[in-house]
Amino acid sequence: MKKALVCGAGGFIGGHLVRRLKKEGMWVRGVDIKQPEFAPTQADEFLLLDLRQPENCLAALNSETGTFDEVYQLAADMGGMGFIHSAETEIMHNSALINIHMTHSAAELGVPRYFFSSSVCVYRDMQPGEPEMTEAGAIPANPDNEYGWEKLYSERVAMAYARRYGMQVRIARFQNCYGPEGTWRGGREKAPAAMCRKIAEVQDGGTIEVWGDGTAIRSYTYVADMVEGIFLLMHSDLEGPANIGCPQYVSVDELVHTVADVAGKRIHIKHIEGPVGVQSRNFSNARIFTTGWKPNHFLKDGISETYPWIESQVKKDRQAGE
Ligand code: NAD
């Protein structure tokens, strides 16, 4: 039986990835600094470890039954735009340490295949209508935020270890990912979850606040599609980074209208000052398409799965507060 280690298995994408790997019949160890928040882990074994410490990276990889066949590194100090703009030093410090120590330990212990979760935040800002950017467009580098710089650095760490140790490294640059069991409140939530929460909290005909003027263009990828992309990329021969994203580009206001539609509510938008990030995104998915990957959820399909889950969380929260 193949053995996989998922770092960040207590988080959103990591939790879904564990389930996907279990479906393949693998033995899975999950590692995180915290327990999963919304559903019990499906991992065969779950270790609570702070992966900023090198000895904990070794402990995560240590196994009496031999080296892990596959390591998926998704642990990061991470959040939406609000968090990214206010926690620069935490991101640069914590995520870099995790990646430096985890990549080094995996290579030293002879892990044959290593996955690193990067982000499209490595790219510069774009204007709406610009031609699609390929993976090579990340250089010369000019990410909009420190989160993107850390990802770019950690990609290079992984590629350097691949060259030195012959470890097969696979790197995905994720577009915005959303779905059930993702952070939906507390300051680390991303735009789709924040919009679902705000709309679940207001009455029909109510008003919600949206950061910026609502014109920023994004692509949102449903978590089941993302996890499928990770799996296919990991088992492909694609070296170097590969974008994974749903090629449907919408403005932030269009995201709000989609959520309102699914919720069956009429919503007014009040645009306010806030961290928006880049103006536009338009990336080529040609590399990941060569693995046979394609997204099965356009925005409305994915929001139809996500909104009811967030609405139920909001209701639970309200009942607990009553
Ligand atoms: P998440 O925050 O839900 O998961 C990250 C997990 O890492 C968390 O459970 C957290 O507790 C864990 N972690 C943080 N510090 C740790 C430490 N010191 N030791 C051990 N574990 C630690 O985020 P996610 O959305 O599931 O993202 C997973 C990965 O994908 C991250 O690397 C993220 O940067 C990347 N990514 C996500 C998105 C997205 O839209 N969600 C987009 C681009 C890239």
Atom index in ligand 1 nearest the CA of residue 56 equals 19
Please tell me if the CB atom of residue 283 comes closer than 6 angstroms to any atom of ligand 1.
no
**Domains, in order of start, for the chain:** 3-177+222-244 (3.40.50.720), 179-219+248-282+296-316 (3.90.25.10)
The CA-CA-CA angle for residues 237, 241, 246, to 5°, reads: 100
Amino acid making up residue 193? A
CA distance 50 to 114: 19
CA of 206 to the centre of ligand 1 (A): 33
Amino acid making up residue 20? R
CA of 158 to the centre of ligand 1 (A): 17
- Ranges under pLDDT 70 in the chain: none
Instruction: Check residue 81 and give its pLDDT.
Output: 87
Please tell me if the CB atom of residue 15 comes closer than 6 angstroms to any atom of ligand 1.
no
Instruction: Check residue 322 and give its pLDDT.
Output: 73
Pairing outcome for strands 249-251 and 207-211: unpaired
Cis peptide before 192 (omega within 30 of 0): no
Please tell me if the CB atom of residue 98 comes closer than 6 angstroms to any atom of ligand 1.
yes
Instruction: Check residue 321 and give its pLDDT.
Output: 83
Active site residues: 147
Q: What is the four-CA torsion angle of 185, 188, 190, 192, rounded to 10 degrees? A: -10
Please tell me if the CB atom of residue 119 comes closer than 6 angstroms to any atom of ligand 1.
yes
Q: Are 197 and 185 within 8 A, CB to CB?
A: yes
Q: Are 69 and 5 within 8 A, CB to CB?
A: no
**Residue 287 in tokens:** 């590399």
Instruction: Check residue 35 and give its pLDDT.
Output: 97
Residue nearest to ligand 1 atom 35, measured at CA: 117
* Helix (H/G/I), strand (E/B), else coil: 95: helix
Instruction: Check residue 131 and give its pLDDT.
Output: 94
Residue nearest to ligand 1 atom 41, measured at CA: 177
CA distance 151 to 161: 15
Please tell me if the CB atom of residue 132 comes closer than 6 angstroms to any atom of ligand 1.
no
CA distance 108 to 164: 10
